[in-house]
Amino acid sequence: MHSSVRPEVVLLLTTLDLNHPDTRQRPYHRDGRPFTRAERDLLITFTPEEKAAAIAQIELEGEWQRELDEMKDAFVDLLMKYFAKLPEGSVVSDAVAIMADEDYAEFERLAEIATAEDTLEFRALYEGS
């Protein structure tokens, strides 16, 4: 059976900025770029199935972002637990040096997750240049 959902249309729907001030005149991506003519022409052909797929994707992205934010908060809370025991001006390596083994394991797990987004962003911006 052939899928009636076109990924390129779902992608356009998920990047559509419904809050852009000029949205009544033309569609914009969430990053501020206006849709090209080809994108606009494709966008107006979306099906109910593609709209449903886009909504599901947006909900998944929102859930993922909430989980990531919770992990980042847990990462900061873990560090603050140890910074409270250290003199003012201490740095992360000072906190890590006095961590209990189980907290250190959690620190390593959360550090990888909490910094992944920033690391990917850094790589995208600087490694290709």
The reported pTM is 0.65
Q: What is the pLDDT at residue 129?
A: 40
Mean pLDDT by runs of 10 across the 129 residues of the chain is 83 92 87 94 94 95 89 90 92 92 93 69 51
Give Cα 11 to chain centroid, integer Å: 15
Contacts of 95 by beta carbon, 8 Å cutoff, 6+ apart: 79, 82, 83, 86
Cα atoms in the 13 Å half-sphere on the side-chain side of 44? 8
Per-domain residue ranges of the chain: 1-46, 64-129
